Amino acid sequence: IDANDDYAALLSGRKAHIGRNLSISYKKPLKIIKGALQYLYDDKGHTFIDCVNNVSHVGHCHPVVVKAMQRQIATLNTNTRYLNDAMMDYAKALTAKLPSRLSVCYFTNSGSEANDLAIRMARHFTGNKDVIVLDHAYHGTSTLAIEMSPYKFDGKGGGGQQPYIHKAVSPDLYRGAWQYGDADAGEKYAAAILKLLHELKQEHKGPAAFICETLLGVGGQIPLPEGYLENVYAHIRAFGGLCIADEVQVGFGRVGDAFWGFELQGVEPDMVVLGKPIGNGHPLAAVVVTEAIADAFNNGMEYFNTYGGNPVSMVTGQAVLKVIEEEAMQQHAQQVGAVLLEELKALMDKYEIIGDVRGHGLFVGAEFVKSRSTREPAVTEINHVVEQMKERGFLLSTDGPLYNVLKIKPPLVFSEQNARDMVAALDAVLRAEAFG
Ligand code: PMP
């Protein structure tokens, strides 16, 4: 980075005035100055295909979303203590996409804030404090969200696990105790949670909530094993806890076969947490809960959020839903995702270094290993591949507890041609590096 003369002033300014524990993508950083749908443009006239930004869900600067925001911000932006149509219209449209029992919305400004609120509500409702999370999970950056995120509290600078947080093993069919081909893997991973619940009970405690992503993001781009949530949710409910689905990364049609990740598992959560794609990059997030949970939370202390639910955010959310619907983006994610998975699996046949390809719709991961038999993570190699892909115009990144999973979750406008071009570029990079 220091050697990057072009951006020396920007980099030193950033060092002086911006929080220091914030990384920059790529060895040679990019200065991105414009975005349009699945494309990003730098200050040197290069065009990049964004293969990784699941926030700009319907595409960077989608004109329908931008126009709706412009119109509203020129009309009114204020807090939610006045009556206003925008909030009602959006709450109705959003809950119409969810199971009917999820009918009460709390609007916030970030996924972290929404998860934090979800846990507070679960604690009110159940009278319990303990929370069960999945190992390696990330749920946000507030104090409580970090307490719920093994990815943070177990990592460098993390404060360790709080006594009221319990980590369940990640249901990873590639690396875990039960792997691909085991038809009962979902049930077996769920049994690990049942064991935790029994241990809690021995201490005369019960769970406030179980929370997990409905496909694991930071945990390594992992679709959940069949039957997993059905079993986990039954166990949690039997012990008096609530089931929270963190849909921050995967919701809003990305998985193609369904609008929400939890639908792939055939379950109905007690609360859903929504973020990132919900506002296409505008700071909007939400918790949606049942009547009973909302009633329990209405305990005398007001819940007021200065920006949450403001009319600009509400029309933004409404415009995102409209674009997903009108441009049939869920179906598009399904079709393009299928091509992408097929092409990546074909690449896996050619290169030993790709140990596993998995995903659903446009939420895909490819795990890089030094050898298929040892499954040793190929971290240096994958980092090099990500840099080389950038040179070829494709923006990607890595994820997973071992930092060796190529993360692919583009804006949903990502086309079949983009998918084929990206895989062809990956093929060329792997060939050039002789990563057999
Ligand atoms: N939940 C999940 C699954 C996430 O991936 C993130 C952000 N990466 C969050 C919550 C937190 O969202 P935000 O950054 O909007 O606070």
Q: Whose CA is nearest to atom 8 of ligand 1?
A: 140
Which residues of 53-206 form beta strands (DSSP E)? Answer: 104-108, 130-134, 165-168
Whole-number pLDDT of residue 4: 56
Query: Which candidate, 350, 336, 430, places its Cα nearest to that of 392?
Result: 430
Ligand 1 centroid distance, CA of 249 (Å): 7
What contacts 431, CB < 8 A, 6 or more positions away? none
Ligand 1 centroid distance, CA of 300 (Å): 29
3-state secondary structure of 209: strand
Report in angstroms the alpha-carbon separations of 337 from 133, 280, 288, 291.
28, 20, 28, 36
Query: Which candidate, 395, 375, 403, places its Cα nearest to that of 49?
Result: 395
Whole-number pLDDT of residue 390: 98
> What span, in angstroms and rounded, lies between the C-alpha atoms of 334 and 218?
22
Query: Which candidate, 278, 261, 271, places its Cα nearest to that of 318?
Result: 278
3-state secondary structure of 212: strand
Query: Which candidate, 389, 388, 366, 390, places its Cα nearest to that of 378?
Result: 366
Residue of 57, 107, 108, 112 with the most ligand 1 atoms within 8 Å of its CB, for mutation: 112
Whole-number pLDDT of residue 1: 41
Domains of the chain: 31-58+328-432 (3.90.1150.10), 63-326 (3.40.640.10)
Question: How much of the chain is helix, strand and coil, in % rounded to 5?
Answer: 40, 20, 40
> What span, in angstroms and rounded, lies between the C-alpha atoms of 77 and 73?
6
Average pLDDT over residues 418-426: 98
Mind listing the pLDDT tens digit for each residue in 352-361?
Answer: 999 999 999 9
Whole-number pLDDT of residue 2: 44
Question: In this model, does residue 71 exceed pLDDT 90?
Answer: yes
Ligand 1 centroid distance, CA of 246 (Å): 9
Whole-number pLDDT of residue 5: 72
Question: Is residue 339 packed enough to be buried (19+ CB in 10 Å), middle (13-18) or exposed (0-12)?
Answer: middle
Q: Which two tokens stand for residue 203?
A: 């201490």
User: Is the Cβ–Cβ distance between 223 and 182 less than 8 Å?
Assistant: no
State the average pLDDT for the chain.
97
User: Is the Cβ–Cβ distance between 425 and 48 less than 8 Å?
Assistant: no
Whole-number pLDDT of residue 435: 81
Mind listing the pLDDT tens digit for each residue in 209-239?
Answer: 999 999 999 999 999 999 999 999 999 999 9
Residue of 113, 116, 249, 272 with the most ligand 1 atoms within 8 Å of its CB, for mutation: 249
Question: In this model, does residue 340 exceed pLDDT 80?
Answer: yes
Q: Assign 428 a pLDDT band (cuts: 50, 70, 90).
A: very high
Atom of ligand 1 nearest to the CA of 276: 15
Ligand 1 contact via 111 beta carbon (within 6 Å): yes
Ligand 1 centroid distance, CA of 294 (Å): 23
Mind listing the pLDDT tens digit for each residue in 257-309?
Answer: 999 999 999 999 999 999 999 999 999 999 999 999 999 999 999 999 999 99
pLDDT over 70 for what percent of the chain? Answer: 99
pTM given for the model: 0.97
> What span, in angstroms and rounded, lies between the C-alpha atoms of 137 and 407?
15
Question: In this model, does residue 84 exceed pLDDT 50?
Answer: yes
Element (H, E) at 296: helix 291-297
ipTM of the complex: 0.99
Ligand 1 centroid distance, CA of 372 (Å): 32
Ligand 1 centroid distance, CA of 304 (Å): 21
Phi-psi region of 408 (alpha: psi -120 to 50; beta: other; left: phi over 0): beta
Atom of ligand 1 nearest to the CA of 142: 16
